[in-house]
Structure 1
Amino acid sequence: MFSTLRNAWRIADIRKKLLYTLMILIIFRVGSAIPVPFLDPSVLKEMVSTQGSLLGYIDILTGGAFANATIFAMSISPYITSSIVIQLLTIAIPALERLAKEGEEGRKQIQKITRYTAVGLALVQATAYFIMLRNLGALTHTQGFAFWFSAIVIISTFTAGACLIIWLGERIDERGIGNGISMMLFAGIVSRGPAAAMKMWTYIKLANEGETQYYFLVPAVLVLFVAIIGFIVLMTNAERRIPVQYAKRVVGRKMYGGQSTHIPIKVNMSGVLPIIFASALLSIPGTIKGFVYTGATANTESFMFKFLSLFDYNNIAYAILYFLLIIAFNYFYVAVQYNPIEMANNLQKNNGGIPGIRPGRPTSEFIAKVISKITLIGALFLAVIAILPIGLGALTKMNISLGGTSVLILVGVALDTMRQLESQMMMRHYKGFLE
């Protein structure tokens, strides 16, 4: 990776793209530190500190911008939601499905629809955040004209911040390196690195004060962190290749086809989306608990409080449900994205076939069987990575700042960016057939 960056830096064109991307990311981090007026961040920080709440999950994705009530508090969450919704609607709505099959122009139209949907969702989400902040008592003005003026300012600022992030991400897509939205998410997660390092340093201080078990636990956690990164890289690049043989055909005096190739099916076909879905769903009970059962008068002996406590981040029931939901969402996403019947039909139309498998229905059944097996392996991989920090924290009694979602996003974005750099360097160093 470092050699790729060093070689890319030597090329003037790529160096300009890297510097431009860095400039956009700096603007993003500066905006994540500018507070929204008329808000008290201390109230949000108290709610975010509750483990297992939806607010804590949002704060991780925003790189701490949400807890500090900044203009980029919503980060790219409206755009991610919009992308997922439009992607799913592409399967259900024929008009969107036709656009998806129209190549580059169709992709641009879907991108435009996604962008407008994200703006609408940002406005709705900003309004919901304002109502939540009012209920939490985070507003500095709660009555009269000052209240309505502050409401307009807060909602407009949150919405404008989300729209600006989308615009910055598109500038990276056009003139920078990597996927813009992914780079924003990457920068937000990386910004939490110093806080995680400070937590490790706190445990080392405790070890010096007499709690000697941390002398072994801290190095073990660091070694495990490196091992997890290596395992994620291995599984992200892993794929099952289905061999394909194309039949020879004669057109005039020329013979076409006859070559052998393969259909690559990645082990981790759904990326980090199943973890995001499962985390968002299981964070709802923790958020309700944080809103309803706060203060000294909260009834902590009620049935509802005990039921909601089952979904606490460090509870065994949470880990089991988390594990099962990730597997279920992974199967759902793969079923939506991959159609074995369509893949078999495309092979047959192009005079291709899988050796030893008859065309038509047997081919689609074979592809479906392979995808099912690969999906199970990928789902188990995601589930293990996601619940490992929970189990590790329960065993070591340490607050591990190592979320499976965060590590997967970091590794995935880094690998994708390196691939783009390598492909651009290859294009600039290709000598052609004349040399």
Structure 2
Amino acid sequence: MFETLRNALKVKDIRKKLLFTLFILIITRLGSQLPIPGIDSARISEYLNSLLGDSFNLLNSFTGGSFESMSVFALNVTPYITSSIIIQLLTIAIPALEEMHRDGEDGRKKINNITRFVTLALAVLESAGLAIGFGRQGLLSDFSPLIVIEMVVCLTAGAVFVMWLGEQITDKGVGNGISIILLINIVSRIPGDLYSLYQQFIEGKQIGGIVIAVAVILVIIIGTFVLTILLNDAERRIPVQYSKKLQGRKQIGGQGSVLPVKVNTASVIPIIFSSSLLQFPLVIQQLVGANPDGIPGFIFACLNQANWCDPEHPERSVGLVVYLLLTVLFAYFYTSITFNPLEIANNMKKQGGFIPGIRPGKPTVDYLNSILNYIIFVGAIGLCIIAVIPIFFNGVFGANVSFGGTSLIIIAGVVLETIKQIESQMLVRHYTGFLSD
């Protein structure tokens, strides 16, 4: 990775793109520190920390801590990510969107425009909900329509501006802009989390305890990251053979290829879905100020990730079981709408390809479905293991950190994908220079 970056910095065009990307990321981090005018950000931050605890670690990680401080960029990339997922799901349900998806570059531009409008609508709804909720809790200096409108405008403008910055990185920088911004947001929280671990398990301890604590922390972090990379890169390669065709006096085709199917077919989408689904009732509860007792109170306690794996209240870990089951179900659901074995089998048949030992048509579809079901299960189990590791240590040892399995998967995926894009740009430049000579 470092060798690729060093070589990339030697190329003028790529160096300009890297510097432009760095400049945009600096703007993003500066905007995450800007407070909303007329809003007591410190008071809101104190309220969120005391009332919500670490149940919003994922959201804080995605926004780089700007949600916790309720800055101008408090919503950050979350409306865009949500709208992208919604549009991707609707592409399967709405024929018009599916047709756009198949139209190539023109269709992709139309879908991007729709995603932008959905992002704007979500940003308005989310910011209005936050403003009204904080106002009812007495956290605004003056709960008036003017203050609510001001907060809605600032949060919406911040979300739209972050979306625009991400698109600028995609067009003029390196990598996918939204993914890069999401990466830097997550990474910006890691130093604070490491310092929190230092204060909790190392500071003031005896030398023996320090050595053991450091060793355990390093093993957990490095082991989780290695497992994340292995899960992200693992794939099942299905052999495909193409039949020979006679064109003129020459025979073409007859070459073998592979159909790569990633083990983690749905990436972090299942975790985001299941986390959002479980946290939504908590958000409503906190905004309306409800404190239910009895069975409803127990249910809300089970939904709170901060209560999972707690030795004093093991019954609350029922929420963790529900969380893992939802993750597996969403892995199957999301893969079923993004990976179509029937379409792949038809395209393979049109191109004269077949899987050795499997007849074209329905047998190929059945074979791909059987392979896919097995792969999805393996990938979902790996995803659950990575997600549970930080939850377990948080519940048992109180190691409260914002980065977890979801964050590590995003970091590994974005870094590896960006490095591949840099390498491909260097390769294209090499061939272009060779041809021009």
User: What TM-score comes out, normalization by structure 1 length?
Assistant: 0.92
Q: Answer yes or no: is 1:283 the counterpart of 2:279.
A: yes
* Cα offsets for 1:41-96 (capped at 9, x unmatched): 2343234322354x443222101101111110100111111111111111111111
Unmatched segments (≥5 aa) in structure 1: none
Residue 321 to residue 215, structure 1, CA distance change in 2 (3 Å): farther
Q: How does 1:161-176 map to 2 (within 5 A)?
A: 161-176=158-173
Aligned pairs (5 A) from 1:190-269: 190-208=187-205, 213=209, 215-269=211-265
Q: Distance in 2 between matches of 1:205 and 1:405?
A: 26
Instruction: Give the equivalent residue in structure 2 for 1:335.
Output: 336
Q: Partner of 2:26 in structure 1?
A: 26
- What are the equivalent positions in structure 2 for 1:27-42 lying under 5 Å apart? 27-42=27-42
Alignment pair present for 1:11 and 2:7: no
Deviations 1:176-212 (A, max 9, x none): 001000111111111112211211220355442x696
3-state DSSP class of the match of 2:66? coil
Q: Deviations over 1:198-240 (max 9, x none)?
A: 11220355442x6965542332122221121112112211111
- Tell me which amino acid in the other structure corresponds to 2:142: H
Instruction: Name the counterpart of 1:131.
Output: 132
- Tell me which amino acid in the other structure corresponds to 2:32: S
**Structure-2 residue corresponding to 1:321:** 322
Deviation at 1:34, TM superposition (A): 0.5
The question of whether the paired residues in 2 share the 8 Å contact of 1:126 and 1:159 is answered with yes
Rounded to whole Å, the distance in 2 between the matches of 1:164 and 1:434 is: 40
- Distance change in 2, residues 1:327/1:33 (3 Å): same
The answer as to whether partners of 1:267 and 1:374 remain within 8 angstroms in 2 is: yes
* Equivalent residue letter for 1:45: S
Does the CA contact (< 8 Å) of 2:61 and 2:403 recur in 1? no
Counterpart position of 1:418: 419
Does the CA contact (< 8 Å) of 2:201 and 2:210 recur in 1?
yes
Contact 2:349–2:361 (8 Å) recurs in 1: yes
Name the SS for the 2:75 alignment partner: coil
Alpha-carbon shift at residue 97 of structure 1 (Å): 0.8
Query: How far does residue 348 in structure 1 lie from its aligned partner after superposition?
Result: 1.2
Q: Does 1:62 align with 2:63?
A: yes
Match of 1:309 in 2: 301
What is the rounded CA distance, in whole Å, between the counterparts of 1:213 and 1:394 in structure 2?
20
Q: Distance in 2 between matches of 1:57 and 1:321?
A: 18
Which piece of structure 1 moves more, 387-396 or 101-110? Answer: 387-396
Q: TM-score, normalization: structure 2?
A: 0.92
Residue identity in the other structure for 1:303: I
The change in CA–CA distance for 1:215 and 1:395 in structure 2 (over 3 A counts) is farther
- In structure 2, the partner of 1:348 is 349
Conserved? CA contact 2:189–2:403, under 8 Å: no
For 1:387 and 1:136, locate their aligned partners in 2 and report how far apart those are by CA, in whole Å. 33
Are 1:270 and 2:266 matched, yes or no? yes
Aligned partner of residue 246 in structure 2, secondary structure? strand
Check whether the contact 1:41–1:138 (CA below 8 A) recurs between aligned residues. no
Provide the rounded CA distance (Å) in 2 between the counterparts of 1:307 and 1:319: 12
Structure 1 residues 328 and 279: CA distance shift in structure 2, 3 A = same
State whether structure 2 residue 153 is matched by structure 1 residue 156. yes
Query: How far, CA to CA, are the matches of 2:259 and 2:92 in structure 1?
Result: 22
Higher share of residues assigned helix: 2
Tell me, yes or no, if the aligned pair for 1:200 and 1:218 is still in contact at 8 Å. Answer: no
2-structure distance, mates of 1:61, 1:372: 30
**Residues 385-415 of structure 1: per-residue CA shift (max 9 Å, x gap):** 1111111223334324431111111111111
Partners of 1:66 and 1:72 within 8 A in 2: yes
2:280 and 2:228 map into 1 onto residues whose CA distance is: 28
Instruction: Provide the C-alpha distance between the structure 1 equivalents of 2:348 and 2:12, rounded to a whole number of angstroms.
Output: 43
**Count of paired positions:** 425
Distance in 1 (CA, whole Å) between partners of 2:64 and 2:153 is: 21
Match of 1:255, SS state, is: strand
Are residues 386 and 360 of structure 1, via their aligned partners in 2, closer, same or farther at CA, if it must alter by over 3 Å?
A: same
Q: Secondary structure at 2:36's aligned position in 1?
A: coil
Q: How many angstroms apart in 2 are the aligned matches of 1:132 and 1:407? A: 32
Cα distance in 2, alignment partners of residues 381 and 205 from structure 1: 30
Contact 1:52 1:286 survives alignment (8 Å): no
In percent, how many aligned pairs have the same letter?
Answer: 41
Distance 1:404 1:255 in 2: 50
Say which SS state the counterpart of residue 262 (structure 1) adopts: strand
Deviation at 1:132, TM superposition (A): 1.5
**8 A Cα contact 1:286 1:309, kept in partner:** no
Query: Where does residue 372 of structure 2 map in the other structure?
Result: 371
* Larger deviation, residues 213-222 vs 192-201: 213-222
Which secondary structure state, in structure 2, belongs to the residue aligned with residue 66 of structure 1? helix
Does the CA contact (< 8 Å) of 2:64 and 2:189 recur in 1?
yes
Change (3 A) 1:247 1:420: same
**3-state SS in 1 of match to 2:53:** coil
